[in-house]
Structure 1
């Protein structure tokens, strides 16, 4: 790129481009994702801030692409010629895919005379005429939106003529698309066989119908999208879905039935409606990385007003108010970290899309919790959302099991961020006695020195502070072991209280060594054949060798 010009008494810039790599823009914006090369010339001049500028552009872009996590748009070549002068302007663009022309654009305008105000006012009020024709891959047009984790594929056709003014264009034409595929990498949403039918009517695009397949369900919608900047680009869309799979990822899977209405205008946007969740699955994953807090109330010194006051910040664009009710009668499955459960929920989501406020509660229908090789039945489960952060609800969960002649109870209260765990029993026993029987199968008075240390560490780790000593966790971390656990006695194999250490050799092969104080040693090997089927093999010093198959599936 070669630049020349002057600045001071007016502004004059001349630029000559020779196969300039557009990926240079990616260093300035992490969401740009531009690719291709541009060749051509740009000339701009303006005598003063009050005078009407003059601009001439001749650009050829080769292999233009826009990339995101969802993929890379189809490469196209773009030729653009345009000029802007005080007495008028025009622009022409051509989009080619290989040797085939898939898009054309022609536009012209006639700025108003000097008496109509400043040059920006004259430009926005200038009469506009022209048209656009496009018949090609939707990924090219969708890529211009720059969504980092979304993609759209399939053919689309647009034919529209425009008139009116630059600030309020009037369009007439049609939009047609079929067999589109939309994917959202964040939520795992995939809409296939999507068909869109719409028409341009003056200052709006009327979506007559949208249809798409979402998993085993369907999604339909209709509404209008405004094209007038003076009216705040108004939107009024209604989307209906039935058994539509709107999320599918390693941690979350959900189908939904209901209706949402999305509106937007000068007074802001609103999303309202009712969602019924016939089935959802959520996998609990312990977060190991530290969270970086977001600083608020920080301003650049240059942003302060003359009297030193902080400026009033404008609400970011794209923020919608929320008024959505969410209902799940059952089949809301929550699994992970020893929990296998089914829940129902009644919640109301208000606030904004940037800071949602959730009220309501979720109640357990049935479930179990595994702790220290014991299986607890959930007897009580209430998770209450009281308008605070979604990740920090109030918890009231109870579970019980029978161990060593007593009924042991686990009670979890507090909040999602600071849970409090306590043990009780029937007949009533001290908490350390209950935990001793759960972990080691015997009274606290019969524990060895090592077992007493482990019991103290377990009790300490259950405190609300969460900062207790965890020798097993530190040992596992230091040794690079993937899994370290304590196993109870097993009369079948002759194993006493034992320590098990395991390591994943690959994503599909897991090996574990088990040993106790009596000389028992065993090696277990698990090979995942599929997501549900695994091959098991075990060799022990007392019980010989054995092999088998394990099949597991969520119902």
Structure 2
């Protein structure tokens, strides 16, 4: 038993001592060389690319490592030397993990590691809170000292090489986070200081300052090493809400300013409220670089953050967020994007919109978010016909996550798009499109179309299957019927698969079929066939993709293109044939792709031209010979060249080039070579062209890719050479000069001189202009282009320009323009054959400064001795003179005056030629204007009008014209007995020209000049003018003497004048032979054409027991006078009783002859017209408004005279030649319908009121 007890005691002792022995053994193993090496190998086995050298020191409390290296496939990227770690392990008994010292003598971080393609994917991170949370650890962690005295960062890491030092210390525990850090640049100025204390429920403090000059570390990391960087954050206060300010400044690159409060509640979470603005022009495009932000968040349950308000606003868009972010997401957002013009430079010019409105949600988890987006696109601006098909407000719906599109729907007015499926490394997407367009406004597409596509397989080599069909589809005037398309591509990156197309296009059968298969590196085109009416395409071939060689045959031909006219939209004819053959040439190892191709056109008719010719190419992909012979436009062009393509720099060797048309031509003077560089640019030792009938053009030098030295010389080259390619208008004159470009391609220097003599255009508008002469020089150095130019057009025009313009059109400019113009000589060719005549001179002395985008003008132009006449209508303006003055960004019309009869017309205002739309504002006024003096019209008026609007978009002329006294004359027409039968045209011939000097000939010449002249660029001029005629508007001629008054509104445009209103009868008479009738009713109605108002006058008389009515209708140019009676009598009987007061069968032969003249159209009988006859001349001499012969109550003739004493006051004098008792009467117009009449004679006097009403 004792022995057993000793054994048990020994066992117990061993068990008690064994742990101590094992611990001591382990400690000894860790602190001897073999053990430490084993630990290093174990660590290197767990971390790929890790190398640990010279692990020593006391483990585990004070290890030391000589060198640690991290490497990847490209070698070492991080090296840490002389690592020291000191742990105070005894503090673990107090639940504190204390690091007394962590230091490294040198750290070299040369570049970022290269990802390992064979590494397994990183596991998905667990969803976390939006704002960082303070971790909860079982022990307190303290770092007394972190020392990195020498840290080297490579340019691949920080953007620039940098050397710095870093010292830090801190503590993380249940009471919060406390950290202090200091960093300094060693190779340049730069400092970082941080003092942070985050104690939830107690206090919050962050003081951060970072300051570096240009070439700093942070700026380098951001790719902006040329900017100085300053960052300051100041946060200090209670944890319930500590105020802070934030500022960051990187010069023009970035600027951020903000302020707010931060809270750290004791229960956990972070609260933040902040607002500020930022200018990030160095990182964001200009339209969105300036932004404002406003944020408010609060802690939520489970470590989440509730976003109560988050708003970011730029000049182009606004985004607002609200919801909860944490392990689970529940966020809603609204976004608005302004007009696409506010995103200039970010959006292609062919894409735009009036606005975008979007709203949506983000749900799910941070690891697997789910997105829903609903958007409306306002007024889309896309290539036609998309805008019409989409309509004014198409909608977009998207539901998706990171791996799958649940639903994508675009709904427009006539088109819908649908998509759904999986995406990522493997695709499985289905896309559907449908078109249903029937009479959609402004859309050149009608009909139905349905299309479906399926995309499957790896994203790098997806397979695509497509099918589309349409029973009827019309696009841009071309109609497809029974359209069916099927396509299958097993690998969309390789042109292999199958395609079938069938349809009827404009009544022609359209078919297409293609079959291609890939077997390894060989691609075999089994079938390539297409046909449209008489045109057919056939081909087949086989290609070695690895050697880029193949054998193929291709044929495209159409024996008669005429049936394709409906497809082309223009007349076609003739035949065309294109054939090509490909076959390898040369040895197997150095084989070249052989090419034989020919394009032949036989009587090809298109665009009104007939083309015949051939173009041939033969050779290989190393050297290709090209020959061409084409005849068109009554000319012929021939070409022979060789293309050398076997070197990186391609070479074009021109041996012949000749273009000729009648007596004109240009040809290659000698063989020439053009070298096209592999990196861009070209060069030539000399390319010389000889003109016919004379002159030469030579180009020599190089352009690019970086430097340029190119010279072009013109030697008396006829301007008519341009008519080789553009027949009209015929040009004449010669050009000489030289231009040299040298220096960097990005900003070359330019020296140029150009001289032109005998310049003339053969267009109808230019045939009678004097010959022009031009001299111009240009010189560019750096950022300035200096230009001097002088242009002379005989004595019609002389201009001198001296300008200095920035080459980038952004800097300051300086320009002076001086010159003189003889308006009569310059305008004469344009007015030739018309009725208009102009004269005068214009002197120009204008200057421009400022910038190209915002020029500032001064100086101006002076008009003197001007006049305008229209021989057909008798319109005349004389003594036209005035000044136009430049004032910064506007042209001021200081006062242009013109004499119109005895009155003066004045125009004043301004034009802003550089503002959007070129706004204009002018006033036009005048008193007692009498610009027209003719048999058709004579009178005077006052004008007060205003011209407003924009020159580029449209203007409006509004105001009033008030007549003083006007006479509308009715022409007497042809003599009695001669009938005007109008134009005579000989059958089978065109209409003969009108006799020279007639109005018709002048109008025809004006139309021809207008048709030949360039189309006008002026915007429409809207009219809103009121013509006020209170009285004294006379209608005279053919026996009529009528006074009218009223208002007429003149509207429409200057090219299509419309009128609305009427001039009503004040008083009036009709003289037929020796009878004078007084009108009881009358109106001159304006409805539409202002030159053709409708006349409606009625006069009534009695002869014995017969009531006779005389009506005047028609227009002033073609009045119609009718005589009727009650009871109804023949017209000759009515006239006999009216004029001679007796029956027609009792008239004398002389009276019958007079009656015949009246019936044949000479209504005024043998009397002179009131406008041009005896009474007209006497009335104008005496200053009377009315003078004529009247009849008394018993038919006795007498003289009547009258005139206006003032506005609406008319004096009438009867000398008593018919009554024997003279009388004086006064008529006062109280209103347009109410008049006060009074009269006095030797035997009586009286007064009364007269009220008129028309029904």
Q: Report the TM-score when normalising by structure 1.
A: 0.58
How far apart, CA to CA, are the structure 2 residues paired with 1:97 and 1:376?
62
How far apart, CA to CA, are the structure 2 residues paired with 1:418 and 1:96?
49
Residue 99 to residue 189, structure 1, CA distance change in 2 (3 Å):
closer
Q: Match for 1:280 among 943, 966, 973?
A: 966
- For residue 247 of structure 1, report the CA deviation from its aligned partner: 2.1
Q: How far does the alpha carbon of each residue in 1:181-239 deviate from its partner, in whole angstroms, 9 at most, with x for none?
A: 344445433333333133102332101122332211112221013323x6233321101
Q: How far does the alpha carbon of each residue in 1:83-104 deviate from its partner, in whole angstroms, 9 at most, with x for none?
A: 6999986543335699999642
Query: 320-329 or 209-218, which moves further after superposition?
Result: 209-218
Q: Does 1 or 2 have the higher relative contact order (CA < 8 Å, sep 6+)?
A: 1
Residue 238 to residue 436, structure 1, CA distance change in 2 (3 Å):
same
Counterpart for residue 299 of structure 2: none
1:409 aligns with 2:1109: yes
Counterpart for residue 80 of structure 1: 775
- For residue 277 of structure 1, report the CA deviation from its aligned partner: 1.1
Matches within 5 A, 1:8-157: 16=716, 38-41=733-736, 57-61=754-758, 78-81=773-776, 91-94=787-790, 103-112=799-808, 128-134=813-819, 136-139=820-823, 143=827, 150-157=836-843
CA contact (8 A) 1:258 1:276 kept: yes
- In structure 2, stretches of 5+ residues that fail to align are 1-662, 669-675, 677-681, 683-688, 692-696, 698-713, 721-726, 741-745, 975-979, 985-990, 992-1014, 1158-1165, 1181-1255
How far apart, CA to CA, are the structure 2 residues paired with 1:101 and 1:132?
13
- For residue 351 of structure 1, report the CA deviation from its aligned partner: 2.3
Counterpart for residue 196 of structure 1: 882
How far apart, CA to CA, are the structure 2 residues paired with 1:375 and 1:209?
50
CA contact (8 A) 1:237 1:263 kept: yes
Q: Match for 2:1042 among 341, 346, 358?
A: 341
Q: Report the TM-score when normalising by structure 2.
A: 0.28
Q: How far does the alpha carbon of each residue in 1:370-422 deviate from its partner, in whole angstroms, 9 at most, with x for none?
A: 4577543322111233x433356554310134546644211346889998866
SS in 2 for 1:390: coil
Q: Match for 2:938 among 253, 257, 260?
A: 253
Number of residue-to-residue matches in the alignment: 413
Q: How far does the alpha carbon of each residue in 1:321-373 deviate from its partner, in whole angstroms, 9 at most, with x for none?
A: 11111011222222234423222231111222233332221112333334577
SS in 1 for 2:1088: coil
1:398 aligns with 2:1060: no
Q: Match for 2:857 among 167, 171, 191?
A: 171
How far apart, CA to CA, are the structure 2 residues paired with 1:203 and 1:402?
73
Counterpart for residue 231 of structure 1: 916
Residue 237 to residue 144, structure 1, CA distance change in 2 (3 Å):
farther
How far apart, CA to CA, are the structure 2 residues paired with 1:319 and 1:181?
25
CA contact (8 A) 2:797 2:826 kept: no
CA contact (8 A) 1:138 1:152 kept: no
SS in 2 for 1:497: helix
- For residue 533 of structure 1, report the CA deviation from its aligned partner: 8.4
Residue 64 to residue 404, structure 1, CA distance change in 2 (3 Å):
farther
Query: Highest CA radius of gyration, 1 or 2?
Result: 2
How far apart, CA to CA, are the structure 1 residues paired with 2:1121 and 2:1156?
26
How far apart, CA to CA, are the structure 1 residues paired with 2:843 and 2:804?
23
Residue 193 to residue 398, structure 1, CA distance change in 2 (3 Å):
same
Q: How far does the alpha carbon of each residue in 1:95-135 deviate from its partner, in whole angstroms, 9 at most, with x for none?
A: 569999964222343443xxxxxxxxxx8x7975321123x
Counterpart for residue 380 of structure 1: 1081
Residue 64 to residue 139, structure 1, CA distance change in 2 (3 Å):
farther
Q: Match for 1:319 among 1020, 1025, 1046?
A: 1020
How far apart, CA to CA, are the structure 1 residues paired with 2:1114 and 2:881?
48
- For residue 82 of structure 1, report the CA deviation from its aligned partner: 5.1
Q: How far does the alpha carbon of each residue in 1:34-90 deviate from its partner, in whole angstroms, 9 at most, with x for none?
A: 9x9744348999xxxxx99x997421348999999xxx98x6864332569999865
Residue 59 to residue 167, structure 1, CA distance change in 2 (3 Å):
farther
Residue 325 to residue 264, structure 1, CA distance change in 2 (3 Å):
same
- In structure 1, stretches of 5+ residues that fail to align are 21-26, 46-50, 113-122, 293-313, 448-487, 503-523, 535-549
Residue 429 to residue 200, structure 1, CA distance change in 2 (3 Å):
same
SS in 2 for 1:246: coil
Matches within 5 A, 1:489-528: 489=1148, 495=1150, 497-498=1152-1153
CA contact (8 A) 1:103 1:132 kept: yes
Matches within 5 A, 1:420-431: 423-425=1123-1125, 428-430=1127-1129
CA contact (8 A) 1:76 1:95 kept: no
Counterpart for residue 284 of structure 2: none
How far apart, CA to CA, are the structure 1 residues paired with 2:860 and 2:930?
30
Residue 501 to residue 409, structure 1, CA distance change in 2 (3 Å):
closer
Residue 443 to residue 97, structure 1, CA distance change in 2 (3 Å):
closer
CA contact (8 A) 2:796 2:822 kept: no
Residue 413 to residue 210, structure 1, CA distance change in 2 (3 Å):
closer
How far apart, CA to CA, are the structure 1 residues paired with 2:1097 and 2:797?
64
Residue 357 to residue 99, structure 1, CA distance change in 2 (3 Å):
closer
Task: Report the RMSD for the aligned CA atoms in angstroms.
Answer: 5.5
How far apart, CA to CA, are the structure 2 residues paired with 1:41 and 1:337?
67
CA contact (8 A) 2:733 2:760 kept: no
SS in 2 for 1:498: helix
Query: 88-97 or 277-286, which moves further after superposition?
Result: 88-97
Counterpart for residue 220 of structure 1: 906
